[in-house]
Structure 1
């Protein structure tokens, strides 16, 4: 057995559906940090067994010698590192722990980053260990981990429970989920605890059939996960993406050739072009930013396929949402500009200007520009926008 191979988990009692969580940390961490992670494992395990007795819980401590060492630690790198381990060992969820500070992308500081998409979270004990009170540190660790697990299990923020958003975890926050949240967690975990597709006798041997089986088997859950990421806010975090689109839209509005082309394209053809452009733009970003590398696996596994489907679906929904925003903006601008000037540019003479048609045209060309601008973004920045559930 290699030093990176964790011990086998205990057998699940009875016929309860199993849920397994991995706790990954640097094998070179100090004894204090390792003891605190072990204490957290035992405490969290008891609380989960109490709150959700319908599942057979297992939490595995997994020290690693190949833990990333570049400082400050990049949560995105740790999420991908943890996701690969989760898939390799067939775990349901995984938390990556470190005593080193994390790189913050969207906030001033960060203590934890959950990724519902990867079913993986990152926790730093750096700021927590600055407190001199051991009991406060323990409470803050427990609250932070339950908060991150809550996000991995589909929960949103709630001021009256452990899901309360915090900038600093001080140990005075609530430690428990609400009654309604526990019901939601139970329903979410019931789907996760079912046997994975590759463990059944009906699993397809070809890649495309396996993907189709996962879509039919988990379609509702996948759709819920995709919508959970609020990908319509994606452009707020991507400066080059938004700038390329804005500049292109301005040039299109000032170009008579664009209006002439719009007049020559029939509405039905424009709808078909729109669908093709949305798919092409999504594929361009997906492969241009190497997003296909998320959820790597040497063999067909439901977890890896789920991650890829959710990632691609989130990106597609983001592009569709962005197109809707561009359409609304374009429609407003066309409404405000003189009809006679625009109709003249389009070569329509005295005919009324079809505002909806031209707004669709401008938004569609804007999406083409946005895919170019998206590929100008730093690869890790775009990936973080898609993968992070939040920084806390």
Structure 2
């Protein structure tokens, strides 16, 4: 297998005082592509796991070519594949599948997000892999899960967000639904997958056995839909889109200012009173009928109108200053530029700077969650294609060659 790497890309060695990550010693084989599986692998890698990413020779993970490119490679790649190693295997070829199976026998976790059944067709299903490695935890991410009548349907995030109930709620009443500009279904599935992996590893400490973590994109979205189903079950209520408002919780909305917009969350009982005082509407703040959320929700249009009448006369900076002083949750609606220039992001380590192997100085998102004693950290840059073939695959080939001689 040739090394497709155009250049070596290694991050500077971290200071020796930094502790190991909480997942140091965990070995992960990542077979997925694009977003959901690789995002799960990235999260494990950020906290110390050794993640070996398998890519097809020649082209690699399609994400290398997604969105904006620098010298032919996506800058997104530096986020999604940081802290990982890259090897190239053509899983359509029996010899390469045999190498993948030998590698899986040495790993704690395997991540895949192919269509259900494909791993079995390749003789890489869980029963096969667990025969060699009973402690293996296998994270399987798919559109609709490994079972059920929709199992074999193709399912991307856009479909999962619709089926999970999210898309119907996004947009303005009476208008076609819109989508968020990012693949929430994939990311939510990845995070659920990481939770499942950590739970399975915890169980393995007691039983010594691994297991399958079956994550469906649509279920990950549905899990975040709050009261959507119970309200329908109890009252036959079908929640409808409500624009920027949060139905049944008031006041909470986006409000026009003289030079932009802000979001305000004034729905706590005491917060509501402080908000009304700040905008000069103590009459509403002291109204007994508005003391609880039920009363405010019933009069949400009047409350939003009162707030807008105040915000629309003032620039965003003044609205922020007045309401922050009153301890009312308020914020501007950030663009990428706002994020890059915000001092709080930098104070919290949420913007890290690196230099890619192609010489591009790049700012990327920091690592979350933040652990006090064993934080995640950037240990190495996203790999070039096949960069670790010799280190990872060389010993496997040598062992196979030796075994064939005996």
TM-score, with normalisation over the residues of structure 1? 0.26
More RCO (CA 8 Å, sep 6+): 2
Structure 1 or 2: larger strand share?
Answer: 2
TM-score, with normalisation over the residues of structure 2? 0.26
